[in-house]
Structure 1
Amino acid sequence: MNILIANDDGVFAPGIQALAQALKPLGRVVIVAPESERSGFSSALTLDRPLRPIKIAEDVWAVNGTPADCVYLSMNGMFDFEFDLVVSGINSGANLGDDVLYSGTVGAAFEGRLMKQPAIAVSLAGANVRAYDKAEDYAQAAQWVHDFIAKGLPELPPRHIFNINIPDVDTIQGAQITYQGRRIQSKPITTQVDPRGRQVFWIGLAGEAVTDPAKNALNIQSDFFAVANGYVSITPIQMDATNYAVLDDLQQFLHSN
């Protein structure tokens, strides 16, 4: 099996290195990742300048572009073989609820799914993971991903991916299939004046998670709930954001005016 690994934290991030090491028993592992951090780039592609992949080690490439660029190049002629699986991560920090709209980790996985390959986005959720000093947590998360893939991935419809969030805890309680939660409105922006007297702005922090009830008779909880209680959250998400439930009502409204 040929496995492509990308991320949005950069080619030298501890999460991607731990993931590559853990997945090597499953087949050939190729890292193609941004040369530096590209968090928050979602599915953006670079169209205004050339991209230059640089080989920095055997099966390890750095790209001067976005996470989605890395996957796009890898699956459209950069290599003379095809990939069987795309894994994006392990991201330093959670990608829960509304985060998936902005996440470069999720964007890279979606780019893989657009190429009709199974794709997974993996994040390590916890307040301290960005300190980059908890190698054992990345190793534990990477081993969980290895075991999940080794069992055989569940089938998903076309243009879907698994968004997986692994809690930053000593003992993982298990895994839960979850739905995508939501946050309240983001915190206000912060404004300052720089040393040259110009006004600058910082985008506010993400809002808190909304406490939603379990969905349907199977008592499926949100991704926030699972991670907060020590469980790995496995959420199937899709490219098609159409709200089919309101199409008929909108059609009738359109023709009634």
Structure 2
Amino acid sequence: MRILITNDDGINAPGLAVLERIARTLSEDVWVVAPETDQSGVAHALSLNDPLRLRDLGQNRFAVRGTPTDCVIMGVREIMRDAPDLVLSGVNRGGNLAEDVTYSGTVAGAIEGTILGIRSVALSQAYGWETRDNPSYEAAEHHAPALVEKLVSMQTPAGTLFNVNFPARAPDAVGGVEITAQGKRNPDSLYIDARTDGRGNPYYWLAFQRTEMDPAKGTDLHAIMNGNISVTPLRLDMTDHEFMRNLSDKLA
């Protein structure tokens, strides 16, 4: 099995090294194509107005000055002589839960692999507010190999990818695996941090704060909050088919 791995935290991210070790438990044919710099939050962006610069790091490792989507395209279309059988994206520093999937470059790497007809899995490691400066990837590294092996052995519908999140717990404290739906965050967790620079000019940071959450059972947020691994199947087709039928009746 040929495996292409990427991420959105950048070529030097600790989570990428973890993912490479995970991939090598499944195959010896592993290729790393990751962004030169941190691309967190770029979603499924393509670099259309800037050239893609490629740096060969040796031993099938490459850095691309571009987005995770660029990296997967470069890996499949330019770098690897034969297409991979599997795309793994991550291990992201922090969970990609609920609406995060629409912002996440990690999930976007798996989306691009799926668009190219390759089985794809996004992996993310949640952390707590207390451990955010030095998150542990032990849960992901311990549990991912067996879980990914099971996922890739399944018959997966065309246009479907897996979004996997690991809880911020020691490996032996993880409760189990839950198949989940995408949850919904409290929108007040995102706020604008307004500041002024040394010249008195205003500037702004997008920031997150703790908010009370009571996530619905069966969602990714609920699974992670309760110490379980969340596996969410996502589809490329974002059409609201039920509402489409209702809309057709109303506009006919």
Secondary structure in structure 2 of the residue aligned to 1:180: coil
User: After alignment, is 181-190 or 99-108 more displaced?
Assistant: 181-190
TM-score by length of 1: 0.89
- Name the aligned partner's letter for residue 150 of structure 2: K
- Report the counterpart of residue 8 of structure 1 in structure 2: 8
Cα separation, 2, equivalents of 1:23 and 1:207 = 34
Give the drift of 1:184.
Answer: 2.1
In the TM superposition, 1:75-114 aligns within 5 A as: 75-114=76-115
Q: What amino acid does structure 2 have at the position aligned with 1:146?
A: P
- Give structure 1 stretches of 5+ with no counterpart: 215-220
Report how far residue 142 of structure 1 moved.
Answer: 2.2
Segments of structure 2 that go 5 or more residues without pairing to the other structure are none
Question: What is the total number of aligned residue pairs between the two structures?
Answer: 246
TM-score (ref. length: structure 2): 0.91
Shift in Å, 1:212? 4.7
Alignment of 1:143-222 (within 5 A): 143-151=142-150, 153=152, 154-170=154-170, 171-186=173-188, 187-205=190-208, 208=211, 211-214=214-217, 221-222=218-219
TM-fit CA distance, 1:130: 4.2
Residues 210 and 237 (structure 1), Cα distance of their counterparts in 2 relative to 1, 3 Å cut: farther
1:122-181 Cα offsets, whole Å, 9 max, x none, are 00011255424x5xx424412322111333523221111100000120121111101100
* Corresponding residue for residue 217 of structure 1: none
Q: 2:159, 2:213 → 1: CA distance?
A: 27
- Bigger Cα displacement from structure 2, 151-160 vs 36-45: 151-160
User: What is the alpha-carbon distance in structure 2 between the residues aligned to residue 152 and residue 179 of structure 1?
Assistant: 16
Distance 1:129 1:68 in 2: 29
**Equivalent position SS for 2:79:** coil
- Partner Cα distance (1:131, 1:107) in 2: 24
CA contact (8 A) 2:139 2:174 kept: no
Which amino acid letter does the alignment assign opposite residue 203 of structure 2?
Answer: V
Determine if contact 2:177/2:231 at 8 Å carries over to the other structure.
yes
**How far apart are the structure 1 equivalents of 2:237 and 2:212?**
24
Q: For the aligned residues, what is the CA RMSD?
A: 1.8
1:39 aligns with 2:40: yes
> Alignment partner of 2:191: what SS?
coil
